[in-house]
Amino acid sequence: MIVPKGSPNTQTKATDKYQKKAGIVSKAFKVRKELADEFVLACKRAGRSQASVITEFMQEFIKNNP
């Protein structure tokens, strides 16, 4: 989680509280720009968010690699 400088506003506090309660974490990783750009376009063509596609992949990978 990235904490803004200064005093967080009410919305930031509410978002942080929700994410903590829901167990949502931020993951960051590096991939080649070309792959990332193609992924963005493929997600747009499919009408899906990048997060939903990555989440689905992670769930399938975990299921297939217990």
In a domain? residue 7: no
How many domains, in total, are found in the chain? 1
pLDDT in tens, 3-56: 557 788 888 888 888 888 888 888 899 999 999 999 999 999 999 999 999 999
Predicted TM-score of the model (pTM):
0.71
In a domain? residue 47: yes
* 43: number of Cβ within 10 Å: 16
* 38: number of Cβ within 10 Å: 11
**Type of residue numbered 52:** S
In a domain? residue 6: no
In a domain? residue 12: no
In a domain? residue 10: no
Range of the domain at 48: 32-66
